[in-house]
Amino acid sequence: MLDGEEHWNAVLAEILVSRKIGATHVKLVGDLISVTAQLDVAARSRRSAFALDSIVDYDEKVGPLEEEYRAAWQAVQDAPDRERRAPALERLAAALTAAIEGVADFARQQGVTVRLHRFGDPES
């Protein structure tokens, strides 16, 4: 982070503290942080962390999903009013959901069991 690079959770933090989002978005951000943390803990607990090929695979699969929720968030920020913000908020929810599923799918492919909390769902 000393080189000026944005922390990977910075956009998620912005989303969480924004007054422009709803409870659904908070729940989705929570799930994304949770599933990513579960994968990270599993990777660190293995004697040999994920192979370089797996890291590249992660970047190729999850990177575009992260870019999509970043772009969706920017669309929310750029919307001049509530009416025009509504479609951007739907896009953001869909992008966060896709990122959650993408990280979970990658984890499963690596043999890591992750639990999706689905914060706010009756079964969670």
pLDDT of residue 1: 36
Q: Residues 14-36: what's their mean pLDDT?
A: 94
Give residue 124's pLDDT: 45
Residue of 110 and 102 predicted with greater confidence = 102
| Whole-angstrom Cα Rg for the chain | 15
Instruction: Say how far apart CA 95 and CA 85 lie, in whole Å.
Output: 15
- In sequence order, what E strands does 39-96 have? none
This prediction has a pTM of 0.86
Task: Please tell me the predicted confidence (pLDDT) of residue 115.
Answer: 87
The residue among 116, 117, 106, 74 whose CA lies nearest residue 92 is: 74
Q: According to the model, what pLDDT value does residue 53 have?
A: 79
The domain segmentation of the chain, as residue ranges, is 10-109
Q: Is the pLDDT of residue 84 over 60?
A: yes
DSSP class of 6 = P
The rounded distance, in Å, linking the Cα atoms of 10 and 54 is 24
pLDDT at 117: 75
Q: How confident is the model at residue 49 (pLDDT cuts 50, 70, 90)?
A: low
Name the pLDDT band for 4 (thresholds 50, 70, 90): low
The chain-wide mean pLDDT, for the chain, equals 87
Does position 123 have pLDDT exceeding 90, yes or no? no
Query: Among 1, 6, 16, which residue's Cα sits nearest to residue 73?
Result: 16
Closest CA to 11 of 79, 75, 84, 83: 75
84-102 burial: b if 16+ Cβ within 10 Å, else e = ebeebbebbbebbbbbbeb
